Chains A and B, each alone.
Chain A
Amino acid sequence: MSALRLHRELAAIWATGPGLQRLAAVNHSVIGLRFMATAFVFFAIGGVLGMLTRVQLATPDSDFMDPETYNQVFTVHGSMMLFLFAIPMVEGVAVYLTPKILGTRDFAFPRLTAYGYWCYLFGGTIITMSLVFGVAPNGGWFMYTPLSSNVYTPGINADVWLLGVTFVEISALTLAVEIVVSVLKMRAPGMALDRMPIFGWYMLVTALMMVVAFPPLILGSILLESERAFGLPFFDPKRGGDALLWQHLFWLFGHPDVYIIFLPMAGALSTIIPVFANRRLVGYRAIVVAIIALAFVSFGIWVHHMFTVGIPHLALAFFSAGSAIVAVPTAVQIFAWLATLAHGRPRWDVPMLYVFGFFFIFALGGLTGVMLAIVPFNWQAHDSYFVVAHFHYVVAGALAFPMLAAFYYWLPLLTGRTAAHRLAVPAFWLVFIGFNLTFFMMHLVGLLGMPRRIYTYPGDVGWNWLNLLSSVGGFIMTIGFGLVVIDVLAQFRYGRRVRRDPWRATTFEWAMPIPPAPYAFASLPQVGTPADDTEAGERALSLARGEGYLGFARNGWQETLGVHMTSGAPEQLIVLPRPTYLPLCTALATATAVLAMLFHFYALTLAAALLTAGLFVLAGQSAGLARDYGPLPVGHGVSVPPHTEVAGAPPWWALIFTLVADGTLFASLVFGTFYLWIAAPNWPAAVTPAPDLKLALAAIVALAVAAAAARGSMRMLAIGGSARGWIGLAMLALLAAIAACVALIGGVTPPPREHALGATAAALLFYVAVHAGIGLLFLVSNFLRLGAGLVSPLRSLDLRLTRLWLDYSAMTAVIALGLVLALPWLVAMLGARP
């Protein structure tokens, strides 16, 4: 078959429609670019806010901004750069590049990618608009309680942050699950995990970190919002809460977040440096081990953001050592890159200029990081401009420079042209010099005693010159970024035309037409050697002619291959959903829920939340295949069954990783309960808890019955009978469990608004009730899909997903209700508390 005809046939199936149909896009290339473009817009807004702070601080006693405006500006600057720029930009890069580098046609859940994008766009818009209306968050990007409680921040400012950021976090979490499943299950045939391009490993580890890191923050935001909206005192020390619980939950997320931002950029560096060194990456295995180690260690050092809150010194020493150890995996990567360059024949081009910038800035940021890990120095430097300097070096520098290296490296894939040197080189030096001038001075002014987050300073304390230089540097940097933008735009038009694979790279994203087609690969490559050694450009033609796997169009299906997780052997034919407006509608419903919550229209919130849930169930109705197919040929004499007929289909793994995230949220809630019990002031409460044992046991029994009924439905389906009776029984059992939980919440003592003891008990019970409620949605979907013929003895995935969910719900219910029942006993032990 000719390459052109194949291209036409596949493009007809995969392309996003014109005009308004663009709103229905689900393709990873389209969504990935949207993520990056949107993130860049927020970067520009955040950058302008940063410049406003530099204008304000350029001179002492400045009255450019009043303190309230300044507080909003720096809070939104930080929140925007981290939540609306850094993480989404990283996600955009992941969405756009990962399938291409791994030699597959798309991610596993295109509609979820689209939903994640819309959530991000709407959440970001809410936060941006709040700034326009002057009601933006004003408590700093980490929103410490009790300053962010409704006593000290009575307006909607803090609610904007809590709801807007949570909205964006949910989008990040959906993408994280998607990236994990896609990297594990969707790669080029034969691409075993140990042959995967190193970029894939970085994305896998990053996404796994996101799965575990975001839930504590999401829980914290929910608890704080329920304190603000409904008066549940989780963080109010006067009523048995503790302000420090928020800090623990926040930094449990916040510290890994730094590595979540850094690792994908390191992945880009590990991809780019070997290309410019003309040599394959040195120490592939060492780097894989290093980044896995980094992921683990990064979860154990959050307390180094809290060295001054009054935690015993020996405990601090433990976290100090951990924070120093985290330098080891980073050093392994730095020296692996240096060794790659030392053993290669390096050539120089614009991306390498940014690699140089990265080395310079990251080395400085890493070294000040080790300094801050040393407890006594931290006592002086904490919350001073030294810290501001440090985190701009590690987060801004270690993100911006590799990101720009990556842009200059990958833009030819999109434009078919390379950068105009005359503009790219001076742009780099302006950014580099401006960056260092701005942020290096901040180290010094911090050591001279300037604390962060002050809107002005007196002229006689020795900070004038350093601040002025910082501000000048900020303007130089801004001009530099402006030039970069002009250069990138100019490249589209005036750049030097290049052939396919201009850098002579070895990864698959270069083995495709420029710009990439919506189906990415006309046929999927077979991997025989370590993937980093593949001659990408040379394979492009054969792939375009359809000589790889799936080099044909069939049934109008968007087809790609699912592989064995470790070996990469073809295992299933994954049929992906076509463009649809559902993600947009679902995200609009979610946004309505968030906005209604913001303005305290709780009935509307509930209605919109139910509508969102309903749309998710509806989305389930158009997934899968309506009949059994059995093994289908995929090329090269190989036949595999469609994903609907295999045990390890992507949705199965997605639910497992979702439950990992959910379990982390639950563990954080249990941690919070114990933390308050051990450490919070004003315990015990005046009233002792007296949970109703019978009701609690009834809830547990009901959930166990539901889980058992789910098994019954599977057995019935397997023998060809009607599973609906069992599904109905499971529904009844879940309704009973919800009723028991609601009754228990109604009877919680002390009343949840009066003491954190009652509030945590209510939260645990609410968790159980919500999970039973979501279980109902699973069952409704099962019922509908059974009716539509989407489920058969061979296609039993739906029922297995429900069983997994109900098992999880029953298990967490045993722990949650057990903890609630144990509370009277725990409180009785408190006499021993010092």
Chain B
Amino acid sequence: MYPSSRDRSVLAVAVQPGLAAALAGCSGPGSTLDPAGPSASSIATLWWVMLAGSAVLFALVMVFFVLVIRRPGWGSGVSAARWIVLGGLVLPAVVLPPLVAYGLVAGERLLPLMGNAPPRIEAEGRQWVWTFRYPDHGGVLTRNVLHLPAGVPVDIVVTSADVIHSFWVPRLAGKIDAVPGHANLLRIQADEPGRYDGRCSEFCGLGHTRMRFAVVVHRAEDFAAALAQAAKEQQ
């Protein structure tokens, strides 16, 4: 239904076919592996790349362990110092800097930078309700349902009225905490109209489990009307 691989990079496409079977189990209304927006998509790609790399490293360590035990003398041709230098220093030096750089660049691209400020929607967490306010649409409020236009980025201003909550729509983007006394910004974008699961992901007391919300994405041209309709219905 959702073209989840649309924005994925060549790298991810190269990694994924082997995991096609696994992917079938990756869908779900709150799955980070079934992305429906550029931010979640970029992070899902990062995940698949890291998974592939980790699988190789894990196999390497375990194969070494089995070989040194089962084939006494295996690896004794490599001096002890070289074992430590190659495994303890060279290997991390080859793997870690590119990974950290990749993460930094990917993270930087997802930031709500000030240069091109898109429309804002305010999300306030309160035990155990989410209230969304739309300043560009006359400040109307919706409760536990977030309405978004499809295909355009939106900055969510996340705040809390009491304890710490966390705003998370796994199929659209990573999470950001709602910390009382602070306002945090999260840029999200949904590619296609539809309904997505959102929830509080920081433990916030007795009602934490039920502190979910729905994200309803409308076609951009229908958004204003749909929002007005929804706000009216909720009253």
Question: Hey, which bits of chain A sit against chain B, CB under 8 A?
Answer: 67-68, 71, 139-140, 144, 146-147, 152-153, 237-238, 242-244, 282-283, 286, 290, 308-310, 313, 316-317, 320-321, 324-325, 327-329, 331-336, 338-343, 345-346, 348, 352, 356, 359-360, 363-364, 367-368, 370-371, 373-384, 444, 447-457, 460-463, 680-682
Are B46 and A336 interface neighbours, CB within 8 A?
Answer: no
Contacts A325-B96, A334-B87, A371-B50; A147 near B62 (Cβ below 8 A)? no
A782-B123 Cα distance, complex, nearest whole Å: 62
26 chain-A/chain-B pairs, Cβ below 8 angstroms: A67-B206, A139-B205, A140-B203, A238-B181, A286-B84, A308-B176, A308-B177, A331-B92, A338-B75, A338-B83, A339-B80, A339-B83, A339-B87, A342-B83, A346-B68, A371-B54, A374-B99, A375-B103, A377-B50, A380-B47, A382-B175, A447-B47, A449-B30, A449-B31, A457-B209, A681-B182
Does B201 touch A at the CB level, under 8 Å? Answer: yes
Are A455 and B209 interface neighbours, CB within 8 A?
Answer: yes
Q: Give residues of chain B (188-218) contacting chain A, Cβ–Cβ below 8 Å.
A: 197, 199-209
Which of A67, A447, A457 touches B32 (beta carbons < 8 Å)? Answer: A447
Q: Please give the distance in Å from B173's CB to the nearest CB on chain A.
A: 7
Are A313 and B100 interface neighbours, CB within 8 A?
Answer: no
A622-B163 Cα distance, complex, nearest whole Å: 51
Q: Please give the distance in Å from B64's CB to the nearest CB on chain A.
A: 5
Q: A67-B209, A243-B180, A243-B181 are in contact. List 4 more A-B contacts (CB 8 A).
A: A243-B164, A286-B84, A376-B46, A449-B28
Are A146 and B163 interface neighbours, CB within 8 A?
Answer: yes
Q: Please give the distance in Å from B4's CB to the nearest CB on chain A.
A: 14
Residues in B whose Cβ lies below 8 Å from that of A680: 181
Does B224 touch A at the CB level, under 8 Å? Answer: no
Q: Which 4 A-B pairs have the closest CB atoms?
A: A379-B174, A449-B30, A237-B181, A335-B87
Interface size on B, residues (CB 8 A): 81
Are A379 and B173 interface neighbours, CB within 8 A?
Answer: yes
Contacts A147-B205, A447-B47, A449-B197; A308 near B174 (Cβ below 8 A)? yes
Which of A290, A310, A378, A451 touches B177 (beta carbons < 8 Å)? Answer: A310
A147-B164 Cα distance, complex, nearest whole Å: 7
Are B40 and A380 interface neighbours, CB within 8 A?
Answer: yes
Residues in B whose Cβ lies below 8 Å from that of A340: 80
Which of B62, B84, B104, B208 touches A282 (beta carbons < 8 Å)? Answer: B84
Are A379 and B96 interface neighbours, CB within 8 A?
Answer: no
Residues in A whose Cβ lies below 8 Å from that of B115: none
Most buried by A among B62, B80, B164, B166: B80
Residues in A whose Cβ lies below 8 Å from that of B96: 324-325, 327-328, 370
Which of B43, B78, B88, B176 touches A376 (beta carbons < 8 Å)? Answer: B43
Residues in B whose Cβ lies below 8 Å from that of A453: 203, 208
Q: Which of B105-113, B147-155, B227-235 contacts A (4 or more CB under 8 A)?
A: B105-113
List the A residue with the shortest CB-CB distance to B158.
A310
A144-B40 Cα distance, complex, nearest whole Å: 27
Q: Is the interface of A mostly helix, strand, loop or mixed?
A: helix
Residues in B whose Cβ lies below 8 Å from that of A244: 179, 182
A414-B177 Cα distance, complex, nearest whole Å: 51
List the A residue with the shortest CB-CB distance to B110.
A376
A313-B185 Cα distance, complex, nearest whole Å: 12
Contacts A139-B203, A382-B175; A451 near B168 (Cβ below 8 A)? yes
Are B182 and A310 interface neighbours, CB within 8 A?
Answer: yes
Are A448 and B30 interface neighbours, CB within 8 A?
Answer: yes
Are B103 and A376 interface neighbours, CB within 8 A?
Answer: yes
Does B81 touch A at the CB level, under 8 Å? Answer: yes
List the A residue with the shortest CB-CB distance to B58.
A363
A400-B80 Cα distance, complex, nearest whole Å: 28
Contacts A343-B76, A370-B99; A147 near B170 (Cβ below 8 A)? no
Are A338 and B65 interface neighbours, CB within 8 A?
Answer: yes
Are B163 and A316 interface neighbours, CB within 8 A?
Answer: no
Does B11 touch A at the CB level, under 8 Å? Answer: no
A719-B204 Cα distance, complex, nearest whole Å: 66
Residues in A whose Cβ lies below 8 Å from that of B180: 146, 237-238, 243, 681
Are B162 and A146 interface neighbours, CB within 8 A?
Answer: yes
Does B10 touch A at the CB level, under 8 Å? Answer: no
Q: Give residues of chain B (1-43) contacting chain A, Cβ–Cβ below 8 Å.
A: 25-33, 40, 42-43
Are B58 and A367 interface neighbours, CB within 8 A?
Answer: yes
Residues in B whose Cβ lies below 8 Å from that of A462: 25, 27-29, 31
A308-B176 Cα distance, complex, nearest whole Å: 5
Residues in A whose Cβ lies below 8 Å from that of B199: 451
A738-B50 Cα distance, complex, nearest whole Å: 58
Are B32 and A449 interface neighbours, CB within 8 A?
Answer: yes
Which of A378, A461, A682 touches B181 (beta carbons < 8 Å)? Answer: A682
A436-B84 Cα distance, complex, nearest whole Å: 28
Contacts A336-B83, A363-B62, A377-B103; A447 near B31 (Cβ below 8 A)? yes
A8-B171 Cα distance, complex, nearest whole Å: 73
A708-B91 Cα distance, complex, nearest whole Å: 57
Which of A346, A377, A461 touches B197 (beta carbons < 8 Å)? Answer: A461
Are A313 and B197 interface neighbours, CB within 8 A?
Answer: no
Contacts A147-B204, A244-B179, A367-B58; A331 near B83 (Cβ below 8 A)? no
Residues in B whose Cβ lies below 8 Å from that of A242: 181
Are A283 and B84 interface neighbours, CB within 8 A?
Answer: yes
Contacts A282-B84, A335-B84, A343-B76; A313 near B61 (Cβ below 8 A)? no
Residues in A whose Cβ lies below 8 Å from that of B175: 308, 379-380, 382-383
Are B69 and A152 interface neighbours, CB within 8 A?
Answer: no
Are B69 and A348 interface neighbours, CB within 8 A?
Answer: yes
Residues in B whose Cβ lies below 8 Å from that of A290: 88
Residues in B whose Cβ lies below 8 Å from that of A146: 162-164, 180
Are B87 and A338 interface neighbours, CB within 8 A?
Answer: yes
A310-B177 Cα distance, complex, nearest whole Å: 7
Residues in B whose Cβ lies below 8 Å from that of A380: 32, 40, 43, 47, 170, 174-175
Residues in B whose Cβ lies below 8 Å from that of A378: 174
A377-B170 Cα distance, complex, nearest whole Å: 11
Are A364 and B58 interface neighbours, CB within 8 A?
Answer: yes
Does B117 touch A at the CB level, under 8 Å? Answer: no
Are A320 and B104 interface neighbours, CB within 8 A?
Answer: yes
A682-B80 Cα distance, complex, nearest whole Å: 59
Residues in B whose Cβ lies below 8 Å from that of A384: 32, 201
Residues in A whose Cβ lies below 8 Å from that of B62: 359-360, 363
Are B203 and A147 interface neighbours, CB within 8 A?
Answer: yes
Q: Please give the distance in Å from A128's CB to the nearest CB on chain B.
A: 22
Which of A331, A364, A379, A455 touches B43 (beta carbons < 8 Å)? Answer: A379
Residues in A whose Cβ lies below 8 Å from that of B166: 308, 383
Are B179 and A448 interface neighbours, CB within 8 A?
Answer: no
Are B28 and A461 interface neighbours, CB within 8 A?
Answer: yes
Most buried by A among B31, B33, B91, B163: B163
Which of B69, B163, B164 touches A341 (beta carbons < 8 Å)? Answer: B69
Residues in A whose Cβ lies below 8 Å from that of B131: none
Does B72 touch A at the CB level, under 8 Å? Answer: yes
